[in-house]
Amino acid sequence: MARFAMTEIRRRIAALFLILMVGFTLLGLRLAYLQIVRNSWYREKALSQRLRPVPVDAKRGVIYDRNYQKLAVSVSADAVYATPSEIKDPEGTAAKLAQVLDLSQEEILSRLTRKQATVWIQRKLDPQTARQVRNLRLPGIGLVERPQRYYPHGELAAHVLGIAGIDNQGLEGLEFFYDEYLRGTPGRVQAERDARGREIPDGIHQFIPPQDGYDLVLTIDHVIQYIAEREIERAVQRTGSERGAFIAMDPKTGEILAWALYPKFDPNNYQDYPATNRRNFAIADMYEPGSTFKIVTGSSALDAGVVTLN
């Protein structure tokens, strides 16, 4: 009986030992999988949680006329951003910023208290306002240069060029149609931060430069474009019409030399104009050809030999 009891105890000890061995083996395999096979994935995931990127926009490509006159360019303008975790006095910071920015204290405060790593406060600052913000030296408030679209000739060829938004994206016209080529690839500035969002002094700091967009050369001639816009405006005003269009083409190649519409708008301040002014009705609307189609039927008849020039 005693021998049977000892055998049973040994069997149970062996079973327990086997279970422990299997458990430790599985645990070891799991640890090896996590630390060897998945090491890079977890390392990148942990690093991404500590790195807080600030985007750096690429410059949109330049749009030229056929003679390489610049019709649309990108210029640098300061933008003010905040790191909420570094701001200890949001109310006081908002009050000081409201004195120099074109925003109310309440609106600024709502942005400073967001649960985000970084937030934009205001973009497209003029140099004087940017200087005033910089002189405040507020903790958690920074300035970064961002490219903004600028049209040096104002209203010239506005319906052809279209507009670009504050986030550097094409919204209308050629700016929209060729946006994937013009906009480029954004870069970023990365700083390693702790769990509370505070920058780690000796942590990782990276700058990944942006890749600027491709340039675009049009068949438009800015001199012919200017004359076309001047004449269509005069014609509309002289006849009392609501609108007018003037398109000049090279008959040998089909190239568009001028594309003028009236009423006009300035793409630098497009928000100050009604949306109807931005409508490119020369291609957006349908027209009955009327007598202008006679040249097509006449040419076809001549080509077929049905009629002669006499």
Residues 167-185: tens digit of each pLDDT? 888 999 999 999 999 999 8
CATH 3.90.1310.10, domain 53-152+184-217, yes or no: yes
Spell out the per-residue pLDDT of the chain, length 310, in tens: 566 667 777 778 888 888 888 888 888 888 887 778 777 776 666 666 666 677 778 889 999 999 999 999 998 888 888 888 888 888 899 999 988 888 888 888 888 888 877 888 888 888 888 899 899 888 888 888 888 899 999 999 999 999 998 888 899 999 999 999 999 988 877 766 666 656 666 666 777 888 999 999 999 999 999 999 999 999 999 999 999 999 999 999 999 999 999 999 999 999 899 988 999 998 888 877 788 788 888 888 888 888 887 7
pTM (2 decimals)? 0.68
Residue positions annotated with a catalytic role: 291
Would you state the pLDDT for residue 113? 87
What distance lies between CA 17 and its chain's CA centroid?
63
HSE-CB for 266 with a 13 A CA cutoff? 7
- The residues facing 141 across adjacent strands are 82
**Which residues, including other chains, have CB under 8 Å from residue 208's CB and lie 6 or more apart?**
56, 187, 188, 189, 190
Would you state the pLDDT for residue 86? 83
- Paired tokens of 266: 């300035």
Would you state the pLDDT for residue 193? 66
Task: For the chain, give every domain's residue range.
Answer: 2-37, 53-152+184-217, 222-304
